């Protein structure tokens, strides 16, 4: 495969990944990384979790939901063990935990229902969301663009300067 074609393929792949992520976010989907073992063996530390929008009527016992912790600082993914429509909350439990969570989760704290998860991919997504990761994405995009030969820059045969 020549350099131009390889650069084009890399640019297309990068563009598709970015487009899918942006469209997903606009549609209400969220991406997160599992940071504890409370949902093992279903989900492990470092798994990528994709959460889709869900209303109170969509949530049933057995569903895994993502909700804001009482402090509001982080999201938690646990399984729903019961739903109390009258009181407006659900009771949750981590699969690896012996007992249900101490506090019921109000419907207003629920971010959504876990649609699926991908083992270990959360480590990569977390890194790419960091400052270093964003710099690598920018460099990869620029490199793919330059590598594809679309930049308009050409080396002179003599003298080695840029045209």
pLDDT digits (tens, 9 = 90+) for 49-94: 999 999 999 999 999 999 999 887 889 999 999 999 999 999 999 9
Same domain, 88 and 42: yes
Same domain, 10 and 52: no
Inter-CA distances, 148 with 94, 139, 140, 144, 156, Å: 48, 14, 12, 6, 18
Residue with tokens 């409370």: 38
Same domain, 112 and 84: yes
Quick check: is 157 in a domain?
no
Report the alpha-carbon distance of residue 150 to residue 10 in Å, rounded: 13
**More confidently predicted of 84 and 15:** 84
Binned at pLDDT 50, 70 and 90, residue 24 comes out as confident
Report the alpha-carbon distance of residue 73 to residue 77 in Å, rounded: 14
Phi, psi at 6, each rounded to 5°: -60, -40
Domain that holds residue 93: 34-118
Using a cut of 0.85, tell me whether the model's pTM lies above it. no
Judge residue 65's burial from the number of C-beta atoms within 10 Å of its C-beta, 0-12 exposed, 13-18 middle, 19 or more buried. Answer: buried
Q: How many domains does the chain have?
A: 2
Same domain, 84 and 113: yes
């Amino acid at each position: 495969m020549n350099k131009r074609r390889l650069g084009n393929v890399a640019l297309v792949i990068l563009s598709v990944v970015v487009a899918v992520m942006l469209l997903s976010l606009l549609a209400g989907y969220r991406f997160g990384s599992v940071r504890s073992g409370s949902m093992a063996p279903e989900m492990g530390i470092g798994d990528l979790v994709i959460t889709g929008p869900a209303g109170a009527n969509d949530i049933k016992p057995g569903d895994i939901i993502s909700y804001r912790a009482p402090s509001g600082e982080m999201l938690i993914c646990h399984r729903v063990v019961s739903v109390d429509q009258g009181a407006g909350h659900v009771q949750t439990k981590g699969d690896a935990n012996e007992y249900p969570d101490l506090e019921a989760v109000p419907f207003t704290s629920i971010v959504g229902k876990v649609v699926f998860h991908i083992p270990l991919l959360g480590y990569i997504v977390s890194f790419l969301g960091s400052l270093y990761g964003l710099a690598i994405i920018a460099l990869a995009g620029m490199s793919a663009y330059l590598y594809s030969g679309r930049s308009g820059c050409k080396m002179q045969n003599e003298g080695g300067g840029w045209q």
